[in-house]
Amino acid sequence: METGLPLSSLKGEIVSANAYLGADHMVEALEQGADIVITGRCADCSLFLAPMMYEFKWREDDWTLLGQGQVCADMLECGANVSGGFFADPGYKDVPDLGNLGYPYIDMESDGRCVISKVQGTGGVISPATCAEQMIYEIHDPSHYITPDVVVDFTGVELKQLGPDRVEITGGQGKARPDQLKVSIGIKEGWIGEAEITYAGLGCLNRARLAEAVVRRRIEISGLQLQELRVDYIGLNSLHGDASLLPQEEPYEVRVRFACRSADQLNAQKLANEVETLVGKGPCASSLPRIQVREVLAIYSVLVPRAEIKTHIVYEETHR
């Protein structure tokens, strides 16, 4: 696994295993005349690389073309992000008419030249900045980005503004695809109990801290068997913990989130119940709590030899 441990070290019940397939099987289906291809889990960009390979007759080992194709496909795999969706940051990176955001498309040439644009009249913006942000936001080594189809080298990519909402992308390179495929394993790993309660007005932060102390004391008295307990003050420290910069003045409202992990549903439910009883035996002037208990489906990544992954294509013909 990505942790370095074998899959057998996991103790929960395995309920799913999904390999990230590449473009090759989609290309095979297209070559057999498929008009629509419905696939199981595959790498996001492979959905766009497959029609390139099919239309332009790119070889599965033409690593330069596949690398450039993968760079261009990366512009589409997160939908409207490259049109300014996740780019928008008012006052720093302004995006016009975000509520009418247009989805991007690419004009692809057989030599790998790519121009990305969006439908005229839609909101958003496509620029070298939006493309660059989309390109790098989830890659690890930009010279060695591993996909099922090709190992991509982004270091020579050039972005050129050709006109309003039109950007040319060139310079992508590639190396031989990996011998292993990533497989996501779903495994049951106990339960999470969660409860949130809000305090407002003068003294709200002190009341929230007292509520936390009450719940922790109730956990101690009742002997709850919890694997983990987390208490967050939403709006104050829920994202960055102790590194958060607390305001100099007391907030007008604060929402306290209690969350626990337990091996069984009963203890997770008991934690949620203890928070719910704060309405009657906790600090004054709270909201009604929101509670939730749910089973944990954890996801682990493993590598499996490509040769061990067997695919089967089913062709169905429909008549109008």
Predicted local confidence at residue 247, as pLDDT: 62
Q: Are 79 and 68 within 8 A, CB to CB? A: no
Mean pLDDT of the chain: 93
**Mind listing the pLDDT tens digit for each residue in 201-235?**
999 999 999 999 999 999 999 999 999 999 999 98
Residue among 39, 46, 47 nearest 18 (CA): 39
How far apart are alpha carbons 292 and 313 in whole angstroms?
A: 41
Predicted local confidence at residue 262, as pLDDT: 96
Task: Give the residue extent of every domain in the chain.
Answer: 43-178, 187-300
Does residue 242 register a pLDDT over 80? no
- Confidence band (pLDDT; 50, 70, 90) for 253? very high
Residue 193 burial (C-beta neighbours within 10 Å; 0-12, 13-18, 19+): buried
| pTM passes above 0.75 | yes
**Mind listing the pLDDT tens digit for each residue in 24-42?**
999 999 999 999 999 999 9
CATH 3.30.70.1120 assigned to 187-300: yes
How far apart are alpha carbons 68 and 74 in whole angstroms?
A: 10
- Confidence band (pLDDT; 50, 70, 90) for 246? low
